Structures are given as C-alpha cells and as structure tokens.
Chains A and B, each alone.
Chain A
Amino acid sequence: MKPILELSGIYYSYHTTEGETPVLSNISFALGKGEFLAIVGPSGCGKSTLLSIIAGLLEPERGLIKFDGKYHQECPPGIGYMLQHDHLFEWRNVYQNVTLGLEIQKQLTPRSKAKAMELLKTYGLDRFKNSRPSELSGGMRQRAALIRTLVMEPDILLLDEPFSALDYQTRLTVGDDIGQILRKEHRTAILVTHDLSEAISLADRIIIMSPRPATIKQKVALTFQLEQDTPLHRRNATEFKNYFNLIWEEINNNE
C-alpha cells in the first residue's frame, strides 16, 4: 500500500533567548490510507509540535514530509486539524461555527452547506444549529468542533488530545462514539494522546515516543480478534490488557 503521508528524519527545536530546546529528533514514519494511528508519550514530549509540523503550521529544522508521494510546498491541502479545546466562538451560532472553515476558504456552496447540515444530523446536533456554543454540553461542543474539521473533507485528520478537556464519563462516551464513526468511515487519522487506553481502543497502530527530545521508541500494531471491532468491545477484550502492559512498560522504561 502506498503511504498517504511519509515523514523522514524530522528534527525540531524551540528557540528562546535562554537557549535552544530540542523537541523532536529523527522522527520517521509512514501512514497508510484509512489507517488510524495513535501517538503516545509523556506529556510535553513534543507530540503536539509534531502535529503542527504535519499540518504545515511549523517548519521542521531538518527532514522531509511527503503527501501522496509528493513533497509539499507551504500548506499541504487536505489536512484537518482538531485542537485540544473546541474554540467554538460565542459570537457565532453552532452552524456558523462549523462552517467557519468553509467561510474562510470561500467554499460556502449549496453542496458544502448541505454537507454541513448532514454532518450535524449524523452527530445529533441538527436541533442545536441555531444555538450558541455555551448552550451545548462538553461532548456536544467537541462533536461540533469535529464537524468543523470534517466538513472541509480532509484526507488526513489530526486529533490533538481532542477529548482531554472533557470529564471522564463524557470522555469515554464521546471518545468511543467519535472513534467509532471515524473508523467506520475509514478515515485516515493521527491521534495524539497521553491516555493509553484511549489510544489502544481506537488505533490500528501505536507509536510510542520518548521524553524530550522525542524519538520514536517503538511502533506497535494492534490486532484484536473481535467480531465487532468497536472501542467499547476492545476495552473488554483480553488483548487490551496485554497491549496496555506492553506499552506502559515501554513508556516507563527510560534507560
């Protein structure tokens, strides 16, 4: 399978007047079409920085990124980036919030508007399209933020701890809920998280990063013998515990 995204030898450092902090060191991996990749690692290890580089918001100091076998100039097309907080704007209603990207890209066509409405319906938000974001619950806000990303029809979805701002119960339901939809639609996605069980229940493959400066410690492919491969079923499978222990040890093993 030809990878849709390919990173080779990515290096990145933060610069302040006090000095230089190396953040990423020799990061290389490839992502296949339809693959759901999770990146785990200790907090502050540069996971979000990596996503920003893939999204083209930051320029790597060294290394190359290929999309669909081509090196990109400037901003790569077809990347949807979902941030940690929903950042729904209170001065726009839910519909205006989810179509913000279309508005910026000047793509507010009847077709894209219909797409937005359809997504609102899929995620159970069509009744709230004229509401203010503050009237939504945490889970609903996160779903609205996801729609805002999906309506741009991205080829690759970047998820930066998208559930971490939610309380534990909502997080489980919304995480499983959204994860299931994304998997069912065979979206290509990269999920960054420090929650191991979230990563294991959602991903096809996990990349474990070391503390700063982050290198790739190990890549773990996940296979579950399940009739219905849903996040919730995975949490109850026997493989789940094995993977958890494996990854846990790998993260805490810091020689």
Chain B
Amino acid sequence: MNDLSNSQIAFLDACRKHRRIVHISRIAIFLSFLFLWEFSANTGIIDSFIFSSPSKIALCFWEMSLDGSIFVHIGTTLYETILSFFLVTFISIVVAVLLWFNRKFSEILDPYLVVLNSLPKSALAPLLIVWLGATPLTIIVAGISVAIFGSILNIYSSFSQVDPESLKLIYTLRGTRRHALTKVVIPSSIPAIINTMKVNIGLCLVGVIIGEFLAARNGLGYLIIYSSQVFKMDWLLMSLVLLCIMAIGLYAVIGIFERRYQR
C-alpha cells in the first residue's frame, strides 16, 4: 500500500482537491449569502422590516426558546410529520401487498389511484377541516393524503417489476404465492421502498404545513400564517429556516437507515 506510483498519487491528489473545492464552495455560498443579507439589511439597501436579517432571526429564536414556545411549535410539527410518515409507509406497503395478491383488484383500482395521486391535495384541506374539525387529526390526515397515493403506486410498481423467473424459482421449490411475496418480492423491493420513504418524508412535511396553515393553534405552519398576518417577518423567516433544518434532519435519518440496510 505504501509504494503508490506517481500517477496514482497525482490522481488521488486531484480527487482530494476536487472534493475540497466542492466543500469550500458550498460553505462559501452559504456564508456570503448570510453576510450579504445582514449587510444589506443593516445599511438599508433592503427594508429589514420586510426582509428581516440573520441576526434578527437568531435573536428571535433566542427569545422564543427562552420561554420555550418555539419548541412547542417545532415539536408539534415534527410529531405530526413523523406520525403521518409512519402511517403512510405502513398503509402503502399493506395496500401494495393486497394489490399484488389480486391482479384483478389492482387493475380495477388503477385509474382511481392515478386520479387521486394527481389531484392537488391542498385542495382537500378545507374539506378535511369541515369533516374532521380543526384538530391535530385533520393535520395528520392532510399529511397522509399528500403522500399516500404516490407511495402506493411506487411500491406496487416495484412489486410488479420483480423478475417473473425469480418467482418461478419459488414455485419450482413448491412455494406458494405467499412465499413468493416474503422471500422474493418484498426483499427485492426494499431499495424502492426506502426511496419512496425518502420522497414521503418531504411530502408529509408539505401536507402537515398545509394542514397547519388552516387548522392549527400550534406548529410551524401556524406560526408562518400567523406571523404573515401580523407582519412579524422575523418569526416567518425563522420558521422557514427551522423548516429547512427539519427537512434536512428527517432526510438524514432515513439516509442512516438506508446505509444500515446496505451494509
């Protein structure tokens, strides 16, 4: 391992340099954006009442974390998102399995799933409020409704793309359709299920925020709507920043799960 050729060393150096440039550039964009924002807000190039500024956002976060109110909002949104995410994952796997077991059933339901999937789910939110009231239940159902149909379609299509010859193998070993499901179809679809989960976590967050816009007393979605109505732009932008961080965090958790599976 120690006696690498010069060309190999040069190659490794180039790789390292490439990675470093990508890394530094990413951080530089972030810092210069923060700096430019802060600078133009302080010097009056932009109106800090409307555009706020990084320092005001940080201060605002500090004040709200002193009285603990911000954690209630974050916690509410996080809880609702994670709950609807788990429900979506569970329901869509169960439904996909049922569709896989009965081809006639899946063919009959196909147009309904496609229509429900393409329907803009934000349009459902007002309906849900009337039906279920302005409760956390409405928000969780809103989160589920955004992700569930696409999730079912993705998982089912992965199920039905399993090589028929692999299924034939199970039948030659005198297995049943249930064996085909547990020994081949589900294990081979795990990567597709994880990819669907990655999409779902983002979609559930979208659904929960839509729900909170309309039917909440807590949560970041509520905070965004409330602060825009009372022109507290610091609150609004802080909520957006927190949503970004939350999205990154949730995505990272699934990434960890995926890497653990791949090992």
A11 to chain B, nearest CB (A): 22
B interface secondary structure, majority? helix
Partner of B168, one of A57, A91, A101: A57
Stretch at the interface among B108-116, B119-127, B171-179: B171-179
Interface size bucket, A side? Answer: 10 to 19
Complex alpha-carbon distance, A57 and B172, angstroms: 7
Report chain A residues within 8 Å CB of B175: 104
A81 and B172 contact, CB distance less than 8 A: yes
The total of Cβ contacts below 8 Å across the A-B interface reads 40
Interface string of A72-107 (1 = CB under 8 A from B): 000100001101110101010000000011011100
Report chain A residues within 8 Å CB of B163: 87
B103 to chain A, nearest CB (A): 16
For A145, the closest partner residue in chain B by CB is B169
A55 and B172 contact, CB distance less than 8 A: yes
For B163, the closest partner residue in chain A by CB is A87
B165 and A101 contact, CB distance less than 8 A: no
A152 within 8 A of B: yes
For A91, the closest partner residue in chain B by CB is B187
A85 and B187 contact, CB distance less than 8 A: no
Interface size on B, residues (CB 8 A): 17
A82 to chain B, nearest CB (A): 8
B25 within 8 A of A: no
Partner of B183, one of A80, A83, A104: A104
A87 and B166 contact, CB distance less than 8 A: yes
Complex alpha-carbon distance, A24 and B153, angstroms: 39
Complex alpha-carbon distance, A147 and B44, angstroms: 78
Interface residues of B (CB under 8 A from A): 163, 165-166, 168-175, 179, 183-184, 187-188, 190
10 additional A-B residue pairs with CB within 8 Å, beyond A100-B173, A148-B173 = A57-B168, A83-B165, A83-B169, A85-B165, A87-B165, A89-B183, A89-B184, A89-B187, A91-B187, A91-B188
> Closest 5 A-B residue pairs measured CB to CB?
A81-B172, A101-B173, A104-B175, A87-B169, A91-B187
Instruction: Give 29 CB contacts A-B under 8 Å.
Output: A55-B172, A57-B168, A57-B171, A57-B172, A75-B174, A83-B165, A83-B169, A83-B172, A84-B165, A85-B165, A87-B165, A87-B166, A89-B183, A89-B184, A89-B187, A89-B188, A91-B187, A91-B188, A100-B173, A100-B183, A101-B173, A103-B183, A104-B174, A104-B175, A104-B179, A104-B183, A105-B173, A148-B173, A152-B173
